[in-house]
Amino acid sequence: MDKYHIFNEIGAGKNSQVFKGRQKKTVTYVAVKRVAKDQMSKVVNEVQMMHALRHPHALKFFDWYETRNNLWLILEYCSGGDLKSLLRVDRQLPVPAVTLFGGDLLAGLQYLHHHGVLYCDLRPSNVLVDDHGVLKLAGFGLARRIPTATNKAKAPKNRGTPYYMSPELFVKDGVHSYQSDLWSLGCVLYELASGRAPFEAAALPDLIRKISSTEPDFDESIFLATESDPEPSSTIQKFSDAVRLFLAKAPLQRPSWDDVRTGYFRDVVPRPPDRPLPPQPLFDALARDLALASHPMNDETPAKRPRESTGSSTKSDDPLRVSRTYRDRRRTKTEDTADQMEMSLGDDGATAASPPTEKGAWYESGLVPSTEVDGNLLECPADGQVKPIVGSALAAQREVCDEASLPFAAESQTRLAEVEHDALEKHLVLAYKALVHDDDASHRRNIVAYLAARCEVSHVANVVVNSSFVTLLLKLARRRDGDASLRRQLLVLLGLLVRHATYVVPDAADDAALAPTLARVATDADADPATRCLALAALGELLFYVATQDDDDEDSLEQSDAWRVDPAHARCVVDHINHDHAELAAYACRTLENVLAQASAKRAAPFLARPEAVAAALARRVSNEPTPLAW
Average pLDDT over residues 506-514: 63
- Bigger pLDDT: 78 or 368? 78
How does strand 29-36 pair with strand 61-66?
unpaired
pLDDT band at 597 (very low <50, low <70, confident <90, very high): confident
Local structure of 32: helix, strand or coil: strand
- pLDDT at residue 264 in the model: 96
Q: Per mean pLDDT, which of 37-41, 120-124, 280-284, 484-488 is the most reliable?
A: 120-124
Q: Give the CA distances from residue 527 to residues 491, 522, 533, 591, in Å, rounded to whole numbers and listed in that order.
A: 13, 8, 10, 21
Among residues 121, 318, 328, 507, the one annotated as catalytic is 121
How does strand 70-76 pair with strand 61-66?
antiparallel
Average pLDDT across the chain, whole number: 78
Choice among 123-137, 325-339, 427-441, 533-547 with the minimum mean pLDDT: 325-339
- pLDDT at residue 563 in the model: 65
Please identify, in words, the CATH class of the domain defined by 4-76: alpha beta
575/410 Cα distance (integer angstroms): 41
Residues in a beta bridge with 127: 137
Fold of 83-295: Transferase(Phosphotransferase); domain 1 (1.10.510)
pLDDT band at 423 (very low <50, low <70, confident <90, very high): confident
192/295 Cα distance (integer angstroms): 30
SS (H, E, C) 450-509: HHHHHCCCHHHHHHHHCCCHHHHHHHHHCCCCCCHHHHHHHHHHHHHHHHHCCCCCCCCC
pLDDT band at 69 (very low <50, low <70, confident <90, very high): confident
Amino acid at 414: T
Report the percentage of the chain scoring pLDDT > 70: 75
pLDDT band at 483 (very low <50, low <70, confident <90, very high): confident
Strand ranges for 111-229 from DSSP E? 117-118, 127-129, 135-137, 144-145, 158-160
- pLDDT at residue 154 in the model: 59
277/270 Cα distance (integer angstroms): 15
596/384 Cα distance (integer angstroms): 8
- pLDDT at residue 357 in the model: 37
- pLDDT at residue 11 in the model: 83
pLDDT band at 163 (very low <50, low <70, confident <90, very high): very high
Average pLDDT over residues 156-176: 85
pTM comes to 0.51
How does strand 29-36 pair with strand 70-76?
antiparallel
Local structure of 442: helix, strand or coil: helix
Residues in a beta bridge with 21: 6, 30
pLDDT band at 512 (very low <50, low <70, confident <90, very high): low
* Residue 149, pLDDT above cutoff 80: no
Amino acid at 138: A
- pLDDT at residue 112 in the model: 95
Report the percentage of the chain scoring pLDDT > 90: 36
- pLDDT at residue 382 in the model: 41
* Residue 157, pLDDT above cutoff 80: no
- Bigger pLDDT: 23 or 299? 23
Choice among 1-10, 499-508, 611-620 with the minimum mean pLDDT: 611-620
- pLDDT at residue 289 in the model: 57
pLDDT band at 221 (very low <50, low <70, confident <90, very high): very high
Which distant-in-sequence residues (6+ apart) come within 8 Å of 485 by Cβ? Answer: 399, 441, 445
**Are 198 and 187 within 8 A, CB to CB?**
yes
pLDDT band at 196 (very low <50, low <70, confident <90, very high): very high
- Bigger pLDDT: 305 or 5? 5
Local structure of 235: helix, strand or coil: helix
* Residue 297, pLDDT above cutoff 70: no
Q: Give the CA distances from residue 180 to residues 113, 121, 160, 489, in Å, rounded to whole numbers and listed in that order.
A: 12, 10, 10, 48
Average pLDDT over residues 43-69: 90
* Residue 473, pLDDT above cutoff 70: yes
Which distant-in-sequence residues (6+ apart) come within 8 Å of 622 by Cβ? Answer: 373, 374, 377, 378
List the domain boundaries for the chain: 4-76, 83-295, 302-331+397-505, 354-389+511-520+529-631
416/425 Cα distance (integer angstroms): 10
Q: Per mean pLDDT, which of 158-162, 313-317, 426-430, 505-509 is the most reliable?
A: 426-430
- pLDDT at residue 57 in the model: 96
**Are 125 and 141 within 8 A, CB to CB?**
no
- pLDDT at residue 510 in the model: 54
Average pLDDT over residues 11-27: 87
Query: What would the pLDDT profile of 337-393 be if each residue is shown by its tens digit?
Result: 334 343 332 333 333 333 333 344 444 444 433 333 333 333 333 444 556 676 644
* φ and ψ of 448, to 5 deg: -65, -40
Choice among 138-152, 404-418, 446-460 with the minimum mean pLDDT: 138-152
261/258 Cα distance (integer angstroms): 5
Backbone CA torsion sign across 89, 91, 94, 100 = positive
Please tell me whether 37 is known to bind a ligand. yes
Helix and strand numbers, DSSP H then E, in the chain = 24, 12
Q: Answer yes or no: 38 catalytic.
A: no
* Residue 21, pLDDT above cutoff 50: yes
- pLDDT at residue 371 in the model: 35
